[in-house]
């Protein structure tokens, strides 16, 4: 390993490489947008942020459009266009969920937008011909392993046997006197329970971030950054090329967030380095969550050459290495060194562990893996990347993400999905361009789209959607879930909550308060309580109803259901089966019916929440099966 000369070290990491070391030494949606004077934003790609959403496809159930997305500040969000009744749709029958072209490629309908003009196109992405094939048995086309397993995956077959996927087949390795152990964060390995070296490295990993400049009426972010501990980051300690210690930073609890206490197999020297990675592997040794360096504003590329990482000399100049316990103190990643990537990972790992603990959500473990692509401001010549989608989630039907950490496909890390977070900065203190890595609402909104794709069923609908206007029912439901679930993630709990969605786009900040059904431009338009159940509805009105059901305070009509019912219902047969009521696609009516059918909320609780905003759900009309 070649060490750079700067004090902050960087080194490329590959999941197969780490899993091998562990074995020998013992992881299409978009943010909502502001509308200014009714003007549309710039053109968006794949129905993502930056343009008007895909309008409903020409008549026909098969009509489809691009992956859901959002517009830039002052624009309408882009999403897949839904089909009407009878016809082929904007891509002649090619769906947004994708279709297999033989066994080698995925063909997907995507709609791009420029002002009031929508243009549909068919995107074809190739699976790796040596390792993958296209499969659409569950209705969503995706690249899956050709053999029995995904290349490079390392897992425990049982307590005595480690197995590694090589060329699509399992290769078993007995652990001998050791035991095979798996841990979310850094996968599986043969672990020795013999007495260790007794040598330890301790400290705390922190990163800088900017926060909203007001709790109730934000217009931008804080001028000065604040430091926060980074939990569940992978820690590796190297002596030259040799890995001598590995662990995770603390997520909190009995110790402060970001602290670490790593046992090393030999005494550190002046050539020992410590690294921190925003990556995690599942218990099965599959890449699960990671943040990598974006290299193109095109979200469809979904490719990186390097993970984000940060490292330091453990004993600069050889000083401080002569004790059994080395305390390196606080190691802080600054904004200039890419702390935006750390902030993104902080929220993703937190949400993953929170969400998989929801009732019945452990039935899908691991969920869809996701590669997050981001590049922040470096200098005026490299201001960071604002994707053509702004910030967006790309589902499996668009091929998944790849980190090319080696010369061959077997050395690459593959992810089921990808996510793009805008990082373009102004370089001027106190002036904000499109730095979505500081918007916890934006990041958690995208994570909400990922959670629906991983654990429930998406309506797969799109069309124009504005922060202050009504949208197609299916689109309103999926966007509302992303906002609602995102705001619960950043809240302490139903009684100590944060309902204000805030972001800055193109230098302009705006907010939505889902506890009051208002935004920075005024009250949100409400639906007609006497109108049809399939009427268009504002996504933030739907979020407000969800918030009222969940919250025990700080809501229009707080019902205090909390996490359990509101998240468990996403796994219900009513939402994941063939039953549908009213609108042609899955929508909020179906979500509320499922709450009632599964006895997760009383009809009086649901009625109180919907009546407050005029949403046309009636208990007498519920359909369960």
Q: What is 379-392 written as a DSSP string?
A: BTTB----BTTBSE
**What whole-number distance in Å separates Cα of residue 445 and Cα of residue 393?**
9
**What whole-number distance in Å separates Cα of residue 134 and Cα of residue 492?**
41
Residue 451 phi/psi, 5-degree rounding, is -65, -40
| Average pLDDT per consecutive 10 residues, the chain (625 residues; last block may be shorter) | 32 37 39 46 33 32 36 36 40 81 86 41 84 87 86 84 88 90 71 74 97 91 95 93 91 90 92 95 80 94 94 87 92 96 96 92 87 94 91 88 79 89 90 94 95 91 75 92 97 97 92 96 96 96 98 98 98 95 94 98 98 97 95
Residue 6 phi/psi, 5-degree rounding, is -70, 160
**What whole-number distance in Å separates Cα of residue 539 and Cα of residue 615?**
12
CB 385 within 8 Å of CB 294: yes
**What whole-number distance in Å separates Cα of residue 195 and Cα of residue 209?**
40
Which region, left, alpha or beta, applies to residue 320 given φ > 0 means left and ψ of -120 to 50 means alpha?
left
**CB contact set of 84 (below 8 Å; sequence gap of 6+):** 56, 57, 58, 59, 60, 63
Residue 534 phi/psi, 5-degree rounding, is -100, 25
Which region, left, alpha or beta, applies to residue 219 given φ > 0 means left and ψ of -120 to 50 means alpha?
alpha
**What whole-number distance in Å separates Cα of residue 571 and Cα of residue 454?**
10
**What whole-number distance in Å separates Cα of residue 373 and Cα of residue 316?**
32
Quick one: DSSP state of residue 114? Answer: E
**What whole-number distance in Å separates Cα of residue 543 and Cα of residue 245?**
45
Name the β-bridge partners of 239.
Answer: 242, 272
**What whole-number distance in Å separates Cα of residue 540 and Cα of residue 485?**
12
In sequence order, which ranges of 245-325 are alpha helices (DSSP H)?
Answer: none
CB 66 within 8 Å of CB 460: no
CB 616 within 8 Å of CB 528: yes
Q: Write down the pLDDT at residue 194.
A: 59
CB 44 within 8 Å of CB 113: yes
**What whole-number distance in Å separates Cα of residue 185 and Cα of residue 106?**
30
Please choose, from the candidates 471, 473, 418, the residue with its C-alpha nearest in 3D space to the C-alpha of residue 446.
Answer: 418
Q: Write down the pLDDT at residue 278.
A: 96
What is the sign, positive or negative, of the torsion defined by CA atoms of 59, 61, 62, 64? Answer: positive
- Per DSSP bridges, beta strands 401-403 and 413-415 are antiparallel
In sequence order, which ranges of 94-172 are alpha helices (DSSP H)?
Answer: none
**What whole-number distance in Å separates Cα of residue 385 and Cα of residue 199?**
42
- Where is 503: in which H helix or E strand? strand 500-505
CB 344 within 8 Å of CB 372: yes
In sequence order, which ranges of 239-357 are alpha helices (DSSP H)?
Answer: 339-355
**What whole-number distance in Å separates Cα of residue 18 and Cα of residue 185?**
11
To which residue do tokens 């009504």 refer? Answer: 470
To which residue do tokens 């600069």 refer? Answer: 316
């Amino acid at each position: 390993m070649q060490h750079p000369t700067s004090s902050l070290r960087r080194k490329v990491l590959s999941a197969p490489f780490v899993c091998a070391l562990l074995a020998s030494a013992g992881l299409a949606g978009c943010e909502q947008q502001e509308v200014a004077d009714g003007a549309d934003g710039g053109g968006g790609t794949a129905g993502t942020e930056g343009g008007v959403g895909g309008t409903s496809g020409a008549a026909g159930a098969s009509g489809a459009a691009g992956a859901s997305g959002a517009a830039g500040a002052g624009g309408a969000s882009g999403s897949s266009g839904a089909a009407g009744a009878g016809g082929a749709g904007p891509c002649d029958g090619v769906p947004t969920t994708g279709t297999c072209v033989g066994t080698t490629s995925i063909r997907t309908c995507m709609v791009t937008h420029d002002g009031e003009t929508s243009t549909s196109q068919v995107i074809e992405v190739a699976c790796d011909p040596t390792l993958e094939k296209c499969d659409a048995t569950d209705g969503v086309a995706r690249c899956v392993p050709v053999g029995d397993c995904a290349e490079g995956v390392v897992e425990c077959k049982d307590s005595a046997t480690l197995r590694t996927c090589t060329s699509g087949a399992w290769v078993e390795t007995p652990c001998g006197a050791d035991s095979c152990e798996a841990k979310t964060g850094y996968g599986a390995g043969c672990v020795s329970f013999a007495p260790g070296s007794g040598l330890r490295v301790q400290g705390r990993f922190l990163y800088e971030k900017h926060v909203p400049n007001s709790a109730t009426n934000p217009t931008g972010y804080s001028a000065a950054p604040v430091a926060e501990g980074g939990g569940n980051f992978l820690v590796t300690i190297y002596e030259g090329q040799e890995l001598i210690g590995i662990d995770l930073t603390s997520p909190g609890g009995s110790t402060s967030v970001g602290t670490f206490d790593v046992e090393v197999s030999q005494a550190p020297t002046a050539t020992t380095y410590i690294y921190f990675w925003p990556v995690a592997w599942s218990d099965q040794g599959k890449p699960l969550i990671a943040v990598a360096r974006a290299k193109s504003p095109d979200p469809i590329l979904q490719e990186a050459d390097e993970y984000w990482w940060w490292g330091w000399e453990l004993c600069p100049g050889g000083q401080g290495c002569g004790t059994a316990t080395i305390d390196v103190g606080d190691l802080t990643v600054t904004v200039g060194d890419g702390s935006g990537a750390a902030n993104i990972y902080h929220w993703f790992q937190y949400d993953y562990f929170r969400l998989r603990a929801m009732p019945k959500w452990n039935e899908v473990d691991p969920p869809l893996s996701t590669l997050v692509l981001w590049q922040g401001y470096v200098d005026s010549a490299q201001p960071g990347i604002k994707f053509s989608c702004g910030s967006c989630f790309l589902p499996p039907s668009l091929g998944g993400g790849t980190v090319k950490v080696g010369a061959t496909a077997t050395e690459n890390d593959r992810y089921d999905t990808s996510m793009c977070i805008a990082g373009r900065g102004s370089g001027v203190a106190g002036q904000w361009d499109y730095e979505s890595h500081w918007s916890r609402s934006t990041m958690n909104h995208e994570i909400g789209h990922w959670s629906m794709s991983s654990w429930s069923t998406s309506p797969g609908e799109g069309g124009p959607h504005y922060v202050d206007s009504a949208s197609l029912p299916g689109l309103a439901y999926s966007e509302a879930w992303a906002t609602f679930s995102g705001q619960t993630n950043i809240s302490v709990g139903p009684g100590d909550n944060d309902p204000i969605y805030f972001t800055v786009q193109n230098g302009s900040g705006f907010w939505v308060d889902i506890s009051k059904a208002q935004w920075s431009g005024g009250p949100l338009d409400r639906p007609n309580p006497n109108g049809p159940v399939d009427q268009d509805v504002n996504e933030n009105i739907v979020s407000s109803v969800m918030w009222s059901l969940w919250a025990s305070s700080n809501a229009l009509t707080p019902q205090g259901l909390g996490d359990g019912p509101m998240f468990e219902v996403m796994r219900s047969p009513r939402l994941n089966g063939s039953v549908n009521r009213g609108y042609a696609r899955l929508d909020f009516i179906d979500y509320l019916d499922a709450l009632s059918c599964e006895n997760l909320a009383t009809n009086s609780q649901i009625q109180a929440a919907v009546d407050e905003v005029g949403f046309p759900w009636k208990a007498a009309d519920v359909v369960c099966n």
